[in-house]
């Protein structure tokens, strides 16, 4: 059986990869910001790793990732129902020899409270991903490492 990670993205160049991955990230954060836990988790590979905070264990696999999103929604969001928006920017894509694509980018989270037009801004983060990219355009996150700028 061939997993997406084993299918080479070698035939796709920067011209194709950059917009493809931007479109992928836009859809991925849309799921996250709407707390669609299963849909967000499904943007990772089955064995995807989400290392979202130093000092905590990485989330491994779609079930763990979905559970973390639901847990956040049921605790922090339930107590303080802000609209979160994840912004990614300054994206670099680096096709790897094994058919995956490593990416590096900045991320910023905005939190808007009902009735308050000025969002709370932060944290600012530096993120590194390894993506599985198939020639048909399907993209999945194999692993993500988030480093928040204030935790140094």
Binding site for a second copy (CB under 8 A): 14-20, 22-23, 25-27, 29-30, 83, 85-93, 104-106, 108, 110, 112-124, 126, 137, 148-150, 152
Nearest distance from C-beta of residue 104 to a second copy, angstroms: 7
**Of 46 and 104, which has the nearer Cβ to a second copy?**
104
Nearest distance from C-beta of residue 82 to a second copy, angstroms: 9
Nearest distance from C-beta of residue 140 to a second copy, angstroms: 17
Cβ neighbourhood burial of 126 (10 Å; 0-12, 13-18, 19+) = middle
**Of 64 and 110, which has the nearer Cβ to a second copy?**
110
**Of 33 and 46, which has the nearer Cβ to a second copy?**
33
**Of 8 and 22, which has the nearer Cβ to a second copy?**
22
């Amino acid at each position: 059986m061939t997993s997406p990670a084993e299918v080479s993205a070698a035939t796709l160049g920067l011209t194709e990869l950059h917009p493809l991955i931007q479109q992928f990230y836009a859809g991925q954060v849309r799921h996250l910001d709407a707390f669609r836990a299963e849909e967000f988790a499904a943007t990772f590979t089955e064995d995807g790793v989400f290392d979202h905070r130093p000092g905590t264990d990485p989330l491994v696999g779609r079930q763990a990732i979905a559970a973390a999103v639901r847990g956040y929604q049921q605790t922090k969001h339930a107590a303080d129902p802000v609209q979160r928006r994840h912004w990614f920017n300054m994206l670099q894509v680096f096709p790897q020899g094994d058919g995956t694509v490593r990416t590096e980018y900045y991320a910023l989270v905005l939190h808007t409270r009902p009735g308050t037009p000025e969002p709370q801004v932060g944290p600012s983060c530096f993120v590194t991903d390894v993506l599985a990219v198939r020639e048909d355009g399907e993209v999945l996150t194999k692993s993500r490492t988030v480093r928040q700028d204030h935790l140094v």
